[in-house]
Amino acid sequence: MIVQPLTVLDHHHQELRNNGEDVIQGLSQTPKTLSPKYFYDDHGSQLFEKICELPEYYPTRIEAWILQQYADEIAEITRCCELIELGSGSSTKTQIILDAYQKITDFCRYLPIDVSGKILKTSVLELQEKYPDFAIHGLLGTYEQALVHLGSNYLQSRMLFFLGSSLGNFNAEGCDSFLDQVSRTLQPGDYFLLGVDLQKPKDILEAAYNDSQEVTADFNLNVLSHLNWRFQGNFDISLFRHQAIYNEVDNQMEMYLHCEKNHYVSLELLDLQVLFTNGESIMTEISRKFDLATMEKQLDKKGLKTLKSWTDEKGWFGLILCQV
Ligand code: AVI
């Protein structure tokens, strides 16, 4: 029997076609903004994998270290049969979790969810080969689509995990409604494992998002290339410059593309012409940095009770295991 590696969630492609609306809105307002989802076309997803290996970008390494220390304990506590990962990317860290479950069970289902089809398919095929006794199947779609899908396809007890501090890319309101949706989707007794980047000195944070090899700069600028191919645009990438700064009032990294010349850009498929002026910028991402105890309280308010949380020696990154 041939097992398909992926399910394309309903309306995924349609959503991507329609979502130009948010580009029109973001580029028509002052200051201009773009959704961070435009980082992740196939090239952007590859660049993000490179970011994860940069010496300055500590979150991936530290979270992997915490998982290495505690994945066995997590598997022992939860003993779940269905593991679901939101925003799985290449699923590299996930293997630490799958290895831990392999020690305690013969069968497990793993569902990685991502918006980037190429990286999702490659990682599912690799994992199917590596874990032949596990059922591994990718879901191609956004977090929202995936949570709706999961809500109506309940098979067995679940652990949903959301690693890499991707929660930090939502603003406070988006974070709140995302956690509401998670809590509504899970059933009583299910688990939620969350990785969050914690507050730390500005110089460490700014170095992590302005790396010396300029991979993060390429990642940020790739948003414009993505808009060019998706919406028949004519952004000239050489007229923009990457910058990431830490906003100490809101405890968040902010990524910008600064425009260095007055010019017009058109996005044909959106029927949009935008004036960019020298010195103005587009905000492409926020990456919020959390306080562990405050986050636990916020989760608790959503009905996600912390069973245990772990951190590294410096307290730079936190991993929280909650139960509904
Ligand atoms: C995916 N996300 C959690 C990353 C972050 O750190 O906010 C995206 C990123 N942006 C720049 N570097 C990495």
DSSP 203-251: HHHHHHHS-TT-HHHHHHHHHHHHHHHHHTB---GGGEEEEEEEETTTT
Nearest to 281 by CA among 317, 244, 247, 311: 244
Mutate which of 285, 286, 289 to test ligand 1's pocket (most atoms within 8 Å of Cβ)?
285
Q: Is 304 helix (H, G, I), strand (E, B) or coil?
A: coil
Q: Give pLDDT, residue 155.
A: 77
Nearest CA to ligand 1 atom 4: 166
Q: Say how far apart CA 276 and CA 260 lie, in whole Å.
A: 9
Residue nearest to atom 5 of ligand 1 (CA): 287
Q: According to the model, what pLDDT value does residue 15 have?
A: 52
| The model's pTM | 0.92
- What is the predicted pLDDT for the residue at 19? 72
Greatest distance between any 2 Cα atoms in the chain: 61
As a whole number, the mean pLDDT across the chain is 93
Contact 258, 284 (CB under 8 A): no
Q: Which of 115, 209, 212 to mutate to test the pocket of ligand 1 (most atoms within 8 A of CB)?
A: 209
pLDDT grade, residue 11 (50/70/90)? low
pLDDT band at 44 (very low <50, low <70, confident <90, very high): very high
- Calculate the alpha carbon distances from 226 to 16, 83, 119, 206, 305 in Å: 12, 31, 16, 25, 39
How far, in Å, from the CA of 147 to the mean position of ligand 1?
22
User: For position 36, what pLDDT does the model report?
Assistant: 93
Between the CA of 10 and the centroid of ligand 1 the distance, in Å, is 27
How would residue 10 be classed by pLDDT, with cut points 50, 70 and 90?
Answer: low
Q: What are phi and psi of 274, to 5 degrees?
A: -125, 135
Least reliable range by pLDDT among 125-134, 146-155, 243-252: 146-155
| Ligand 1, pocket residues at CB < 6 Å | 51, 59, 164-166, 168-169, 209, 216, 285, 287
CA 287–ligand 1 middle distance (angstroms): 7
Q: What one-letter code names the amino acid at 126?
A: E
Task: Work out the pLDDT band at 65, boundaries 50, 70, 90.
Answer: very high
pLDDT at 176: 96
Using the Cα atoms of residue 8, residue 92, residue 207 and residue 169 in order, give the sign of their dihedral. Answer: positive
The Å distance, Cα 268 to ligand 1 centre, comes to 29
The ligand 1 atom at the shortest distance from the C-alpha of residue 285 is: 10
Q: What angle do CA 84, 150, 102 make, to 5 degrees?
A: 25
Which residue is closest in CA terms to ligand 1's atom 6? Answer: 287
Which pLDDT does position 149 carry in this prediction?
Answer: 87
- Given a contact cutoff of 8 angstroms between Cβ atoms, the answer to whether 258 and 241 are in contact is yes
| Whether complex ipTM tops 0.90 | yes
Atom of ligand 1 nearest to the CA of 59: 6
pLDDT in tens, 98-118: 999 999 998 899 999 988 888
HSE toward the beta carbon, residue 73, CA cutoff 13 A: 13
Query: Given ligand 1 and candidates 40, 169, 215, which is best to mutate, with the most ligand atoms within 8 Å of its CB?
Result: 169
Q: Are 286 and 253 in contact (CB under 8 A)?
A: yes
**pLDDT-derived band at 2, boundaries 50, 70, 90:** low
- pLDDT average, residue stretch 172-199: 96
pLDDT computed for residue 242 by the predictor: 98
The ligand 1 atom at the shortest distance from the C-alpha of residue 244 is 11
Q: Whose CA is nearest to atom 7 of ligand 1?
A: 287
| Most informative mutation of 35, 48, 214 for ligand 1 (most atoms within 8 A of CB) | 48
Atom of ligand 1 nearest to the CA of 219: 11
Please, what's the b/e burial string for 245-258 (b: 16 or more CB within 10 A of its CB; e: otherwise)? ebeeeeebbbbbbe
Task: Please report the atom of ligand 1 found closest to the CA of residue 165.
Answer: 3
pLDDT at 66 over 80: yes
